[in-house]
Chains A and B, each alone.
Chain A
Amino acid sequence: MFRNVLPGIENVDWYGILSLLIFFTFFTFMSIYVWRMKRADIQVLENLPLEEENQLNNTKNENIGK
């Protein structure tokens, strides 16, 4: 019953393939970006929630500069 619902759109099978293609392209680029992030930057980022709330943290700001 489903197959006859969309005869009007040609090559509707390609929608699925296209979606997966878009996803894998996206995913690959994202992985490369994440892979190439610098360790120092990561350290700054992951410590953001842990900083004492009302205290300056200069080491962190120095890290950013590098």
Chain B
Amino acid sequence: MTTQLNSDNMNVERFQYDNKIVKYFMIASVVFGVVGMMVGLIVATQLFIPEFNPLGQYTGYGRIRPLHTNAIIFAFVGNAIFCGIYYSLQRLLKARMFSDVLSWIHFWGWQLIIVLAAVTLPMGYTTSKEYAELEWPIDILITLVWVVFGINMIGTMIKRRERHLYVAVWFYIATWVTVAVLHIFNSFELPISILKSYSVYAGVQDALVQWWYGHNAVAFFLTTPYLGLMYYFLPKAANRPVYSYRLSIVHFWALIFIYIWAGPHHLLYSALPDWAQALGVVFSVMLIAPSWGGMVNGLLTLRGSWDQVRENPVLKFMVVALTCYGMATFEGPMLSLKNVNAIAHFTDWIVGHVHIGGLGWNGFMTFGILYWLVPRMWKTELYSVRLANIHFWLGTLGIIFYALPLYFSGFAQGLMWKEFTEDGFLRYPNFLETVTSIIPMYITRAFGGLLYLTGTLVMIYNLVKTAQKGSFVANEEAEAVSMTPMGHGDNFWHRALERKPILLTTLSLVVILIGGAIEIIPTLLVKSNIPTIATVKPYTPLELHGRDLYIREGCVGCHSQLVRPFRHETERYGEYSKAGEYVYDHPFLWGSKRTGPDLHRLGGKYPDSWHYQHMLEPTLISPGSIMPAYGWLFDQNVDTKDLKAKIAAMRTLGVPYAEGYEEIAEQDFWAQADKIVANLKKDGIEANKEQEIVALIAYMQRLGTDIKLKEQTAVVQ
């Protein structure tokens, strides 16, 4: 670089930073954070008091568990990200945001999405894909708002007055690009009606795309933007530069490169191809390096000033946040080792793991930033350091009381599932037994959540008091040298610099696409390569409807449909799951948590009447069960008006329903319902073929039977 600064053409510009938008995102984050935590507390309570269901179906476990995850990820953390980015980006680039109008469209658009989610999820409108549950019109809205955010951010970079882009800005860019790609690819779905769609991917492919998304949502929504914030706010709070800027660059590129490959570790021992699983494991283990690089870089920034940490609540929160980040990113790779995964997968261990990340890393980093930001934007001092310290201890204890019991229960239950007696029988053949033994852990966990929430309320009080005694500066005056006149009249550097954000955006995109492409493309080719199992047939119209009810109720939040090839699983559930069995599953319903037993081989296990009674009152059939009762499925009638559209849509997606079948589908629908009603009658149950439960029973009795049929024929021959 040869440009020499010449004081003649030094052009000092005065401008204002927009603090109001930062304030609004902050308030939204805190308000939705409390809501999200409260929903979490309800969900946690339902696991030991299943009758605790204040609004009936609208607060059913399966429906509001996704409400909790969405509220925390997209509302609490999402708004906190925007709050931090809008504050730091303006300062790092010495420019006001590109456009106030876009800022406000971004803000209100995002809140609209959250409100829509809060309405549709409890009503049962869901795609059932984790962290991507929102239905297609909301998906489109998310895309639009995300584009607005991107234009606003890159626009600011282009009109910036600081030639260098600090590493935090890189993290913001990578976040934006990657989330855009992930969201679009995972949201390909074929609409049936205004709030119902089917994923265009089926079975194994759907699972891979979903967990490529799910894993990277963790990476690029919960991690990279927060690392960016860490690289800005931690040096600010400690008033010293980051420990090693070189390390931060290596950290950045290595992290975004490696993360994108690790997704398949969510699908070990599943019907996913071996090589993809192996790749997921290798890259997951490699992830430790850049993750810890980031943690170490953060912690070493505080070297020699630990006395400051003891005094300063902001730094305290950030230190625990970084420590939790280190723990979670150590544990993640461990969990992706196949032998650890074999025990931990489907258990509470994973729930504990994500909460170390969520409560510790995201939560505490957010709190640290807020304690730093509010006094600054209101031009005053923090109302009470003592209260902040109380919050710190409540929060820390909350994390411990939350995570430790779940590690214990996850480990204990995982071992119980696979324990055999000396005679070669399962020691705990009754799944429920493994559940009831860990219920004390669920109670402790909820207590931890309560502590954490209480701490958050203490913070809100403290911050409101702080704001009250200060005065808010909506537009903060600033001045900086304009960047334009630096180039001796020739525009070369100017243009090159303008291009830099675009270049960086493109580079990040290329980096993440390499990983994405190598992983996804071959799997998309799998379709033609999945060994077709001749006996696997499309769902009947009634079963399809039942499946949609299963999706609506979020049964997938407690039940997997994936028998792994372990002896203890085949012993407990039956033949392990084959890739070819899922070819008509739009979307896949493998699940990620076994609070109840796997259901993939459920069909034919019990009579229809068993299901009827079990769904009505699980504890009557399985004393001590924590499965919620589904009374409303008995009061509500099926609605067949979308049946034609559903059949047609499935055929478009490649399910071999005969041409014109949708016209006669409804006959088949009622004929099968009649049969189930007749079955129930034999057992003395008066059911009505229009009840939703009838369709659900049809689906449950179908599960996993295609293979059994085949085996039976094999035996007969």
Residues in A lying within 8 Å of B, measured CB to CB: 1-9, 12-13, 15-16, 18-20, 22-23, 26-27, 30-31, 34-35, 37, 42, 44-50, 53-56, 58, 61-62, 64-66
- Contact B5–A46 (Cβ < 8 Å): no
Q: What are the 3 closest A-B residue pairs judged by CB atoms, nearest first?
A: A2-B274, A46-B241, A54-B478
B-side contacts of A15, CB under 8 Å? 275, 279, 518, 522
Contacts known (A23-B257, A30-B253); A54 close to B479, Cβ less than 8 A: yes
Separation of A46 and B232 alpha carbons in the complex (Å): 10
Q: Does B77 contact A (CB under 8 A)?
A: no
> Taking chain A's interface residues, is the majority helix, strand, or loop, or is none over half, making it mixed?
helix
Q: Which residue of B164, B476, B528 is within 8 Å of A48 (Cβ)?
A: B164
Contacts known (A2-B272, A42-B246); A65 close to B3, Cβ less than 8 A: yes
Separation of A23 and B260 alpha carbons in the complex (Å): 12
- Contact B522–A6 (Cβ < 8 Å): yes
What is the minimal beta-carbon distance from B246 to any residue of chain A, in angstroms?
Answer: 5
- Contact A62–B92 (Cβ < 8 Å): no
- Contact A13–B166 (Cβ < 8 Å): no
A-side contacts of B277, CB under 8 Å? 2
**B168 to chain A: closest residue by CB:** A49
Q: Does B421 contact A (CB under 8 A)?
A: no
Q: List 19 A-B contacts (CB under 8 A).
A: A5-B274, A9-B529, A16-B275, A16-B278, A19-B515, A27-B257, A34-B246, A34-B250, A45-B166, A46-B235, A46-B242, A46-B245, A48-B92, A49-B166, A49-B168, A50-B236, A50-B241, A56-B12, A56-B481
Separation of A23 and B515 alpha carbons in the complex (Å): 9
Contacts known (A49-B236, A56-B479); A1 close to B522, Cβ less than 8 A: no
B-side contacts of A1, CB under 8 Å? 271, 565, 576, 578-579
Residues in B lying within 8 Å of A, measured CB to CB: 1-5, 12, 17, 88, 91-92, 162-164, 166-168, 204, 231-232, 235-236, 239-242, 245-246, 249-250, 253-254, 257-258, 261, 271-275, 277-279, 282-283, 286, 476-481, 511, 514-515, 518, 522, 525-526, 528-531, 565, 576, 578-579
Candidate in B272, B273, B522 with the most chain A CB atoms within 10 angstroms: B273
Contacts known (A16-B278, A65-B3); A5 close to B273, Cβ less than 8 A: yes
- Contact A5–B257 (Cβ < 8 Å): no
- Contact B254–A49 (Cβ < 8 Å): no
- Contact B522–A53 (Cβ < 8 Å): no
Separation of A16 and B272 alpha carbons in the complex (Å): 15
What is the minimal beta-carbon distance from A45 to any residue of chain B, in angstroms?
Answer: 5
What is the minimal beta-carbon distance from B522 to any residue of chain A, in angstroms?
Answer: 6
Contacts known (A2-B274, A23-B257); A53 close to B476, Cβ less than 8 A: yes
What is the minimal beta-carbon distance from B493 to any residue of chain A, in angstroms?
Answer: 11
Candidate in A23, A26, A37, A56 with the most chain B CB atoms within 10 angstroms: A23
A-side contacts of B576, CB under 8 Å? 1
- Contact B579–A64 (Cβ < 8 Å): no
With contacts A53-B91, A54-B478 known, what are 4 further pairs, Cβ within 8 A? A48-B92, A54-B476, A58-B5, A65-B2
